[in-house]
Structure 1
């Protein structure tokens, strides 16, 4: 990436980065007037995958850039993409993230809710055949038949079980067991999904990662949706479940978002909201199960790399995150009450695990 940026002959002050991100080394570069790109490419974004970074979510499309090109004119306010000096560059959206102005659980201003729902609804209108020309990297086994929402959810569950829980169990199995995160959870949830008989809903494009840090507010108070790397084809109700899980709206606003999505998505596609009241709780429960695995692994990784002098403070933070996800999953996954330890107990469990693994 450094060689590509060097070919642009920009001065050091016109390069910002690396920007915050889990999976990529990302830089924003300001281009001169002779770049040959349209004016809205005053700033562009270069992304390089980080080495040895694990993806906790299943990926579907091989190229985020080609996907964004396909969405031109279909979804408002997504970054544009062009080729420059042999590299694919994204339009860099100047502004601030929605997450920089709110904390989880706080109300989101109405003008942004309006725009979020508009973007989600526009994605629901994108049908699978419109993206059939794009190369896929997810296995065919994980591509459920059209409208088969049960198989779609089972595919997600299979990925979390095999590629997250089982893959990390060798390294973090003692911590999983101490927190009562064991294989029967997956078997029981799989049985629940199969017996539930989810309603059929026509599949559509999903962003699948709509949280506050992926919404950019520009200088004109317009909301942009960035980071489409986890986009997939699937159950439109899963988009709503993922969004609600990640955004953590306060109670009344969550109800409002649910009902407004029901109305808007139903107008866009006749069967998008079929079985919503029965199936949404099951999709939200899957998100809780996914978080049980991914959040524990992420916090364990953080603890292992924390310097000794900062470890006590980080233990408290990590234990708080893990306790919260255990508490939230307790009811939706029907965990026995005595398997959800107190915050102090979680802290002790993490400290004991860290001591044993450090030895």
Structure 2
């Protein structure tokens, strides 16, 4: 009888190598079926992956820009909402107050202006709007409130108005608070004198929509509301009905003008908002192009992937069946 140990050993080694190769190929085919991408990107790129890596880098930058634009769109939307609240609050000392003053109806004027204090505090609340972790109207100081509490600002104004002996003096005192560097600029506005950074939508292209609560149009609205408060509450020696009506009339006229200014401001923000939406569409189109370019290099044809997977699955099943008596392997155990 001839010994057969060596041939059997060599046969087993060949079988083991074949099994290992088929297992490797099967794992790769399984990955390609699952991901829809070629497993070997170097081979897929023809041995020169530089272009592929460049596409991947551009896709990563595109994703960063998309996030930045989405955040900016959220911020500008919140800014529009805040300005709408400011506009509505300013309307408290608008048309109806002007009508009541024009006919000399003290009771109606007092009723219309009676909501001025609450409207002033609402305006301050709107200007202290936060989006995410940043304040919208504080300039570069995005981590702090833009304005002091409304009641504190009104108390500071009342202190300046207190010595007034007539309507002209009361109006001048309110104006003085908002124009004096030691007044509103020092104790009312708490933000930075530097604007917040503009939103970058593309390398070298920015959309600037950040507003500060000390902007002239906004200060005009706050001044009108403050005059409405002084007009209805008085708080100075010369606060006769006649003088109070004069102050309320001034509040109404300035309120009407301030509403127009805020509407114009919202229009400017709307233009910036449209630019951001356009940038979002452009970024989305760019992402589609980059993805298609990348897929042209690494995408695996689904039909080819399925055929390869099925063929290797059959080969693996056959090999495992042949060696089952020695290794007790089967496809279920392998998987």
Higher strand share: 1
User: Which structure has the higher relative contact order (CA within 8 Å, separation 6+)?
Assistant: 2
- If the TM-score is normalised by the length of the shorter chain, which range does it land in? under 0.3
- TM-score, with structure 2 as normaliser: 0.23
Higher helix share: 2
- TM-score, with structure 1 as normaliser: 0.22
Structure showing greater radius of gyration is 2
